Chain A
Amino acid sequence: MPEDPILAVRGLRKQFGAHVAVDDLSFDLHRGRSLAVVGESGSGKTTVARMIVGLERPAAGTIVACGRDRSRPARGGAERKRRGREVQIVFQDPYASLDPRQSGAVLVDEVLRVHHDHDAATRRRITGELADLVGLDQRQINALPRDLSGGQRQRLAIARALATDPRVLILDESVAALDVSIQAQVLNVLADIRDERGISYILISHDLAVVRQLTDDAVVMRKGAVVEHGPTGRLLDDPQHPYTRMLRASVPGPGWKPARTLRPAAPPSS
């Protein structure tokens, strides 16, 4: 019998007024696996992330993480914290996602104090381990965010998310704002963390190369609806849906020439 999924989403739907942001989304995520939610702006992919972590409330559908439903707001502090130990998130903007007044060490320490009864020495040890894991040295983990580069801040945001030892980590365009050389470092760190901790990722991204590098499966969304769902390699090498094909054809690469008429449904341009 196959293992139960660590995260199961069924019939998820969200509306903002008359606008349907996400419509009938379902997927399973298993332990140690990675799933990409791919789409362009307005596809609803970020709303999916926000619903899974509880920042938005779904209009319909269920989200089950670690066997427990989380489609309704948490009742009480204990449940809220337990959810925090199940699913965590790293946002895109490394500048707004850290409290400017807290160093990394203070930040991680606060998260540990909220969730566990460790003594100060244990908390220091765990903070050190997390810093090592994401590749921040002593000086960097004790520095204020304003003294860190974008890549270092993003590493710190990852360390904060990992401080609760979550089973699922959502990466909401987490490497999109980074320089090419830094992006590669962070992607490698993320791969190491998955190998070391058996954590599962949901990567919200528009970047198909990053999707290929980090994920096993992918869901392609367009205007809130799923247009294709399958193993990442197959989906990118042999896209079935015209929209996926168009996305794939838009990625620059050796020999790529931009084509003016990519839109599948558009009438021939004059």
Chain B
Amino acid sequence: MSALLEVSDLTVRLRLGDEQREVITGTAFQIAAGEAMGLVGESGSGKSMTAKAIARLLPLGARVSGRVTFDGADVLALHGAELRRHRARVAVVFQDPRAHINPVRRIDDFMTESLRLLDDVPRAEARRRAAAALEEVGIDDPAKRLRQFPHELSGGMLQRVMIATALLSEPRLLLADECTTALDVTTQAEVMAILDDLRRDRGLAMLFITHDLELAGAVCDRTTVMYAGQIVETRGSQRLHDDPLHPYSAALVQARPSVTATAPRLNAIPGRPVSAFEAPGGCRFAPRCPHAVDACRSHDQQLTALDGGWVRCSWAAELRGRLLASSPASSSGENANA
């Protein structure tokens, strides 16, 4: 069985003035039809740029190398009508719905525009489909919502409208880029449940991008962790949480406070997250890693298979099982450089 989405050796450089800044370095992963993968990282990790590269939404002047194959098509080579069709089948839902919706047009116009213009669907039919999509994402009285303007809807409602709109083009892959971050926790839970249902009912594949490991784990079978533009670990979500292989994944699991218990001290990671272009040679996490030795700083780390997952750390096998146990001793330098 071939994957629905296959990303290999993807490198992205953005242009800032006269500078080329690398934001993703040699990313590779696959998503099968109907599969949900979490993509987790902090700022600068390159997780959002990965989604933008797949949807071909990178900013002007971006240089991309590598290969992105979606349903057999070479995504990076698409243009014109093919590119439009690609963007219809890969739906993107962003963090801030208000930034992506025209505030002076009704929900109806926003939702049906591309159906009417690109697919020549008659207005009444387009409206019927929009109403059905709204119902599918749990919106009551869709006819009324269609007549409303964006400012009349709450953030959570608007995000559901965005998801429903994405569904109208019958996508096979949904790129959810921090799509619940700006929402209240209770609304977040509802939107997550909707996404989970859609995946099951429609066989929709999903790339769920977030900074929250727990959230990714709740809806994704598999989670990939990125740091400084590289994938550092890919693993089953549950196993990543309970038995992480990379020191950074372990640090992420432990840095987050828990709602069930108060820790005397959080296991903070010293230093601050960096982007690919600021990262040092050798292992990019080495400066913040409590387990780093000289060899880590001098040698680039390769993504290697280990126990059903992939990890970018040559000590992973040795460190296995000790990562979560290593506690406050590692947090001595935490004030160093946030």
Which residues of A are interface residues toward B (Cβ below 8 A)?
40-41, 135, 137, 149-152, 155, 179-189, 191, 206-210, 212-213, 233, 236-237, 246-254, 256-260, 262-263, 269
Q: By the criterion CB–CB under 8 Å, are B255 and A181 in contact? A: yes
7 closest cross-chain pairs (CB), A and B: A135-B335, A213-B257, A258-B192, A151-B338, A184-B268, A181-B269, A40-B184
Q: By the criterion CB–CB under 8 Å, are A249 and B261 in contact? A: no
- With A and B bound together, what is the CA distance between A254 and B215 in angstroms? 9
Q: By the criterion CB–CB under 8 Å, are A252 and B217 in contact? A: yes
* Contact among A152, A188, A250 with B186 in the assembled complex (CB-CB below 8 Å): A250
Nearest B residue (CB) for A257 = B218
Size of the B side of the interface (Cβ < 8 Å), in residues, is: 51
Distance in Å: Cβ of A7 to nearest Cβ of chain B: 22
Distance in Å: Cβ of A38 to nearest Cβ of chain B: 10
Q: By the criterion CB–CB under 8 Å, are B267 and A184 in contact? A: yes
- With A and B bound together, what is the CA distance between A248 and B252 in angstroms? 22
Which residues does chain B contribute within 8 Å of A135, judged by CB atoms?
A: 334-336, 338
Taking the complex as formed, is B132 at the interface, i.e. its CB lies under 8 A from any CB of chain A? no
- With A and B bound together, what is the CA distance between A256 and B192 in angstroms? 11
- With A and B bound together, what is the CA distance between A188 and B265 in angstroms? 6
Given A40-B185, A250-B185, A262-B189, 12 more A-B residue pairs with CB atoms under 8 Å apart are: A41-B184, A135-B338, A181-B269, A182-B272, A184-B266, A185-B338, A187-B268, A212-B262, A251-B259, A252-B189, A259-B189, A269-B138
Q: By the criterion CB–CB under 8 Å, are B338 and A208 in contact? A: no
* Contact among B155, B189, B268, B335 with A250 in the assembled complex (CB-CB below 8 Å): B189
Q: By the criterion CB–CB under 8 Å, are A182 and B241 in contact? A: no
Which residues does chain A contribute within 8 Å of B265, judged by CB atoms?
A: 188, 191
Distance in Å: Cβ of A198 to nearest Cβ of chain B: 18
- With A and B bound together, what is the CA distance between A251 and B189 in angstroms? 8
Q: By the criterion CB–CB under 8 Å, are B255 and A183 in contact? A: yes
Distance in Å: Cβ of B23 to nearest Cβ of chain A: 16
- With A and B bound together, what is the CA distance between A218 and B221 in angstroms? 35
Distance in Å: Cβ of A32 to nearest Cβ of chain B: 16
Distance in Å: Cβ of B238 to nearest Cβ of chain A: 8
Q: By the criterion CB–CB under 8 Å, are B241 and A254 in contact? A: yes
Name 17 A/B residue pairs within 8 A (Cβ), A-sorted: A40-B184, A135-B338, A179-B211, A180-B255, A180-B256, A184-B255, A184-B256, A184-B269, A185-B334, A188-B265, A188-B266, A188-B331, A189-B335, A212-B262, A253-B259, A258-B193, A258-B218
Nearest B residue (CB) for A185 = B268
Q: Known A179-B42, A188-B331; judge A260-B186 contact (CB<8 A).
A: no
- With A and B bound together, what is the CA distance between A239 and B278 in angstroms? 45
Q: By the criterion CB–CB under 8 Å, are A181 and B190 in contact? A: no
Q: By the criterion CB–CB under 8 Å, are B185 and A209 in contact? A: no
Nearest B residue (CB) for A175 = B257
* Contact among B197, B215, B251, B335 with A181 in the assembled complex (CB-CB below 8 Å): B251
Q: By the criterion CB–CB under 8 Å, are B190 and A262 in contact? A: yes
Interface of A (DSSP majority class): helix
Nearest A residue (CB) for B257 = A213
Q: By the criterion CB–CB under 8 Å, are A181 and B268 in contact? A: yes
Taking the complex as formed, is B194 at the interface, i.e. its CB lies under 8 A from any CB of chain A? yes
- With A and B bound together, what is the CA distance between A92 and B155 in angstroms? 19
Q: Known A247-B185, A262-B190; judge A210-B257 contact (CB<8 A).
A: yes
Distance in Å: Cβ of A137 to nearest Cβ of chain B: 8
Binary A-proximity of B306-338 (CB < 8 A = 1, otherwise 0): 000000000000000000000000010011111
Taking the complex as formed, is B300 at the interface, i.e. its CB lies under 8 A from any CB of chain A? no
- With A and B bound together, what is the CA distance between A63 and B337 in angstroms? 38
Nearest B residue (CB) for A248 = B259
Which residues does chain A contribute within 8 Å of B252, judged by CB atoms?
A: 180-181
Taking the complex as formed, is B113 at the interface, i.e. its CB lies under 8 A from any CB of chain A? no
Nearest A residue (CB) for B266 = A184
- With A and B bound together, what is the CA distance between A262 and B241 in angstroms? 25
Distance in Å: Cβ of B178 to nearest Cβ of chain A: 13
Which residues does chain A contribute within 8 Å of B194, judged by CB atoms?
A: 260
* Contact among B43, B190, B256 with A260 in the assembled complex (CB-CB below 8 Å): B190
- With A and B bound together, what is the CA distance between A163 and B265 in angstroms? 25
Q: By the criterion CB–CB under 8 Å, are A258 and B42 in contact? A: no
Distance in Å: Cβ of B242 to nearest Cβ of chain A: 8
Taking the complex as formed, is B258 at the interface, i.e. its CB lies under 8 A from any CB of chain A? yes
Q: By the criterion CB–CB under 8 Å, are A253 and B260 in contact? A: yes
Nearest B residue (CB) for A187 = B266
Q: Known A41-B184, A135-B338, A251-B185; judge A181-B273 contact (CB<8 A).
A: yes
Which residues does chain A contribute within 8 Å of B259, judged by CB atoms?
A: 208-209, 212, 236, 248, 251, 253
Taking the complex as formed, is B188 at the interface, i.e. its CB lies under 8 A from any CB of chain A? yes
* Contact among A149, A236, A252, A259 with B214 in the assembled complex (CB-CB below 8 Å): A252
Distance in Å: Cβ of A238 to nearest Cβ of chain B: 12
Which residues does chain B contribute within 8 Å of A206, judged by CB atoms?
A: 184-185
- With A and B bound together, what is the CA distance between A259 and B218 in angstroms? 11
Taking the complex as formed, is B243 at the interface, i.e. its CB lies under 8 A from any CB of chain A? no
Which residues does chain B contribute within 8 Å of A251, judged by CB atoms?
A: 185, 259
Which residues does chain A contribute within 8 Å of B96, judged by CB atoms?
A: none
Taking the complex as formed, is B71 at the interface, i.e. its CB lies under 8 A from any CB of chain A? no
Taking the complex as formed, is B39 at the interface, i.e. its CB lies under 8 A from any CB of chain A? no
Nearest A residue (CB) for B219 = A258
Which residues does chain A contribute within 8 Å of B267, judged by CB atoms?
A: 184
The A-contacting residues of B in range 159-192, CB under 8 angstroms, are: 184-190, 192
Q: Known A250-B188, A252-B217, A259-B193; judge A209-B268 contact (CB<8 A).
A: no
Which residues does chain A contribute within 8 Å of B109, judged by CB atoms?
A: none
